[in-house]
Amino acid sequence: MSERCRVVAVRGHEAGSGQELSESAGPEVPVVGSGRELFRCVSRLRGQGEQVCVVPMTLGRHPDLVADTARTLRALPAGERHGTVLAEPFGTSQHLVAWLRAAAGRIPADSALLLTAPSGDPFDDAELYRLGSLVGRHGGHELVEVAFLGGTPDPGEGVRRCALLGASAVTLLPAAFVPPEIPGDARVPVHRHGPLLSPAALARVLAERVADARRRWTEHGDDGVAAALGYADDHGYAHTHGPGGHDHGHDHVHDHDHGHDHGHGHGSGRNGHEHGHGLAHEHGHPHAHPHQHPPAPHHPPAPGAGQVNRSTS
| Tens-place pLDDT, residues 191-209 | 999 899 999 999 999 999 9
Q: What percent of the chain has pLDDT over 90?
A: 70
Q: Which CATH architecture has domain 107-192?
A: 3-Layer(aba) Sandwich (3.40)
So what's the pLDDT on residue 285?
A: 40
The mean-pLDDT minimum among 71-75, 218-222, 269-273 falls in 269-273
Every domain of the chain and the residues it spans? 6-92+199-311, 107-192
pTM for this entry: 0.75
Model pLDDT for residues 15-65, shown as the tens digit of each residue:
999 999 999 999 999 999 999 999 999 999 999 999 999 999 999 999 999
Mean pLDDT (whole number) for 167-171 = 98
Mean pLDDT (whole number) for 97-115 = 97
Residue 110 has pLDDT above 90, yes or no: yes
The mean of the pLDDT values for the chain is 82
Mean pLDDT (whole number) for 237-254 = 41
Three-state helix/strand/coil letters over the chain: CCCCCEEEEEECHHHCCCHHHHHHHCCCCCEEECCHHHHHHHHHHHHCCCCEEEEEECCCCCHHHHHHHHHHHHCCCHHHHCCEEECCCCCCHHHHHHHHHHHHCCCCCCCEEEEEEECCCHHHHHHHHHHHHHHHHCCCCCCEEEEEECCCCCHHHHHHHHHHCCCCCEEEEECCCCCCCCCCCCCCCEEECCCCCCHHHHHHHHHHHHHHHHHHHHHHCCCCHHHHCCHHHHCCCCCECCCCCCCCCCCCCCCCCCCCCCCCCCCCCCCCCECCCCCCCCCCCCCCCCCCCCCCCCCCCCCCCCHHHHHCC
